[in-house]
Amino acid sequence: SLQDQFDNLEKHTQWGIDVLEKYIKFVKERTEIELSYAKQLRNLSKKYQPKKNSKEEEEYRYTSTRAFLATLNEMNDYAGQHEVISENMTSLITGELTRYVQELKQERKSHFHDGRKAQQHIETCWKQLEASKRRFERDCKEADRAQQYFEKMDADINVTKADVEKARQQAQLRHQMAEDSKAEYSSTLQKFNSEQHDHYYTHIPNIFQKIQEMEERRIVRIGESMKTFAEVDRQVIPIIGKCLDEITKAAESIDHKNDSQLVIEAFKSGFEPPGDIDFEDFTQPMKRTVSESSLSNSRGDGKSEPKFGGKSKGKLWPFIKKNKLMSLLTSPHQPPPPPPASASPSAVPNGPQSPKQQKEPLSHRFNEFMTSKPKIHCFRSLKRGGAGPEDFSNLPPEQRRKKLQQKVDELNKDIQKEMDQRDALTKMKDVYIKNPQMGDAASVDHRLAELGQNIEKLRMEVQKFEGWLAEVEGRLPTRTEQARRQSGLYEAQNTSAVNSCAQDRESPDGSYTEEQSQETEMKVPATDFDDEFDDEEPLPTIGTCKALYTFEGQNEGTISVAEGEMLYVIEEDKGDGWTRIRRNEDEEGYVPTSYVEVYLDKNAK
């Protein structure tokens, strides 16, 4: 039936709207994924960006790290394109389809309302026809009964003439009513047939046609949205391709030779390698031969040669590994061991060697110093951090020259800034003098005087640093000097004794520094070296401690203790789990805080 067709169309169009809403939801979730992906890419790029004023920022002078930085920047742009995809899909698909769905629902509702209205109208016409038909049928039956009654009265001789006349009039009335009902039924039937024809051949087909057009527009619209879905993605492909091309270009710009040269320039010290060490003949009872290139000085020589612990001691550091020296200066980097379950009084300490050692030849001591980890017993003048001297004398020659040149350039820039300000104020003063109404010329005199003083101070600083720079550049070896400076770098007297080893630290710019006032002591036989190091006063004790357990100091910077031993505390635990103690004047080191019981005494010496 027609009603069934309307029901089918209503269900199908509702299904079409559901499909459209499902597609809208799909696109919306895709945009959320694009935004989330873009956000994660941006966070990833930001995470690996170099932090300002940090050591990482200095690393980006290498081509490889600059290429990585370019990759991070391109990934940021890459993420931006995914944000563009999300924005375009939201505006061109999700937003448009959402509005279209609302319009489609209103149009569908209107069409089905017109269909129901047409169906109700034809049903009303049908009811009117049925009523007119029943009335015509009833009137015809009443007319027949009235006619039969009149004929019966007219045939009966006992009925008066008046009754017969009355029956005749009643029959005529009923017959007239039947004729009127017939005319009305005929008119109603004609009208119904016309309405029914219009209903089935005009109104309903028009409504179906509109529903069909609505459904076809929906299908076309979802197809166009799918094309837009692909086109939005395709539009950003060229830009994404450019991002990838830039990453490839950055990778191709990596220059390994340039990076290697930068490393050489950064860590070039300017020191010359030491000369050859002469053969020491122990088969002769005479004194062993001492050459200018050995590590000892001739006692009979009246010349004042540089000592191992003097100026030349700074030239020993290039041959020592950084991790070995750094381990001598600070507490162990690894966490302290937990205290044992039970004390072991009989444990044999495996810590640093005793300060008393047997005599060894000088060459053996030098080889041991070059190849093995130094045995440290004393932490004289150990400090955490600290700035170097103003003239960068703690740096190797080449590094010192670079630092001094950098300082001179910075001071010249500051002078130029101050001079620019002074010129500007001078011009302003001239304007005030010519136009007093614009300002008081005397108001800038004080500032001009300050700028003049600042410029003079900066110039004096420049002269000071330029003097140091000239001194360094004059001392740097040249190609003609290298041939005659191959010996005498590590000369010292035969009977000199080295009691301290230079303390090397890492300066803020990453180079190695050495301070004569901050050094650790390495015990060597007193008959081999003279003590030429300038020792500072040892750190004062701040209390005492008792060893709760035996600790075997196996790492550099630690000291062995036995259970029950009383020692001096010279530095509290800084939060790393280690306490610095002293056994006697020559033995200091770190022990785990949990291994000792500390008794602080501010008045202790």
Nearest to 252 by CA among 416, 520, 102, 64: 64
Q: What is the DSSP letter of 524?
A: -
pLDDT 10s digits, 69-104: 999 999 999 999 999 999 999 999 999 999 999 999
Tokens 């039937």 — which residue?
189
For residue 602, the model assigns a pLDDT of 60
Edge-to-edge, what's the strand order for the sheet holding 543-547? 587-592, 578-584, 566-571, 543-547, 596-600
Which parts of the chain sit beneath pLDDT 50?
Answer: 287-329, 342-386, 477-535, 605
SS (H, E, C) 179-204: HHHHHHHHHHHHHHHHHHHHHHHHHH
- Picking from 287, 293, 282, the residue whose alpha carbon sits closest to that of residue 494 is 287
pLDDT, tens digit, 9 for 90 and up, residues 288-329: 444 444 444 434 444 343 333 334 333 344 443 344 334 444
Sign of CA dihedral 462, 463, 467, 470: positive
pTM for the model: 0.47
**Hey, which CATH number is domain 5-263, 1.10.10.350, 2.40.50.140, 1.20.1270.60, 3.50.50.60?**
1.20.1270.60
CB atoms inside a 10 Å sphere around CB 568:
19
Q: Strands 512-520, 587-592: parallel, antiparallel or unpaired by DSSP?
A: unpaired
Q: What 3-state class would DSSP assign to 482?
A: helix
Question: Is 292 in a helix, a strand, or coil?
Answer: coil
Q: What are phi and psi of 277, to 5 degrees?
A: -95, 130
Q: Would you state the pLDDT for residue 88?
A: 95
Which CATH number describes the domain made up of 543-600? Answer: 2.30.30.40
Residue 443, Cβ density class (10 Å: 0-12 exposed, 13-18 middle, ≥19 buried): exposed
CA 329-335-341 angle, to 5 degrees, is 125
CA distance 38 to 28: 15
